[in-house]
């Protein structure tokens, strides 16, 4: 990593907060460089010479990036803390190294969520332009007919002036429940839930099973694991292309 970089990128690269949060913190006068408050997120700093603090805490870049896969159970929120005292995904993993979630799963959705202290990786994986595929299994009470599938794959209005779009790759009925495998490449808030709602479909349960080529593997709910060598190589490859 080059020593000269933008202030907000330095902070997010430390893994403590996202790029967006880094920019917000700087603009709220929460960041100092060599004991001087800096409010320009795009200010140039030297990561080897300058001393940067956030809320008076010195920020140190991670020399080793860590990314883990967590099997999120139902009822846990994708947040570091919650004013209502609800359980968070960070109750399930060690507090060190300091990790942030890559995107979110809502409280009732289960499955794969990535956590990392690599701010650049998180930004790449969540940026809409990169269209990283994420596979889900949605449970419903009946097969989705071809007419609705075509609408969903073309793009369907889901409220708030937005369209939701997903690729339906399979449907299978197991004990009176239809399991629908579908792939998202955008990741709008609650996109699948909104697709089902505006399509007149009942959503019984939702689980994410794949992020890019990364899977849950043998994880059980609440368990986590580090990336395999093959998964690390995959992430290196796609980020180099981006």
Assign residue 233 a region: left if phi > 0, alpha if psi is -120 to 50, beta otherwise?
alpha
Sign of the alpha-carbon torsion through 225, 227, 230, 234: positive
Q: Which of 50, 82, 91, 106 is catalytic?
A: 106
Per 3-state DSSP, what percentage of the chain is helix, strand, and coil (rounded to 5)?
A: 25, 30, 45
Q: Are 215 and 222 a contacting pair, CB within 8 Å?
A: no
Q: Cβ distance 107 to 86 under 8 Å?
A: yes
Q: 106 catalytic, yes or no?
A: yes
Residue 200 has φ and ψ, to the nearest 5°, of 75, 25
113 contacts 207 by C-beta, under 8 angstroms: no
State both tokens at 55: 């809320």
**Residue in the structure block whose two tokens are 């709008």:** 188
Show the beta-strand stretches assigned E in the chain.
4-6, 31-33, 36-37, 44-46, 52-54, 57-58, 67-72, 100-101, 110-116, 134-140, 156-157, 163-164, 167-174, 177-184, 205-211, 214-215, 224-226
**Diameter of the chain by CA atoms?**
64
Catalytic residues: 106
């Amino acid at each position: 990593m080059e020593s000269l970089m933008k202030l907000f990128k330095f902070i997010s690269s430390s893994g403590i907060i996202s790029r967006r949060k880094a920019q917000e913190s700087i603009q709220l006068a929460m960041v100092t460089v060599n004991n001087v408050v800096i409010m320009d997120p795009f200010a140039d700093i030297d990561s080897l010479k300058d001393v940067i603090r956030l809320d008076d805490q010195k920020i140190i870049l991670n020399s080793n990036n860590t990314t883990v896969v967590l099997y999120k159970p139902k009822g846990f929120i994708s947040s570091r803390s919650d004013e209502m005292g609800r359980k968070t995904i960070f109750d399930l993993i060690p507090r060190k190294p300091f990790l942030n979630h890559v995107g979110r799963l809502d409280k009732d959705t289960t499955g794969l969520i990535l956590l990392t202290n690599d701010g650049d990786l998180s930004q790449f994986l969540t940026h809409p332009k990169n269209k990283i595929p994420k596979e889900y299994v949605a449970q419903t009470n009946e097969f989705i007919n071809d007419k609705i599938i075509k609408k969903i794959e073309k793009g369907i209005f889901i409220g708030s002036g937005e369209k939701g779009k997903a690729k339906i790759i399979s449907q299978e009925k197991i004990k009176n429940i239809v399991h629908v495998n579908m792939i998202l490449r955008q990741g709008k808030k609650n996109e699948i839930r909104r697709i089902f709602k505006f399509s007149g479909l009942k959503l019984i349960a939702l689980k994410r099973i794949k992020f890019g080529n990364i899977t849950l593997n043998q994880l059980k709910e609440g368990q986590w694991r580090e990336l395999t060598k093959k998964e690390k190589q995959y992430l290196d490859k796609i980020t180099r292309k981006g």
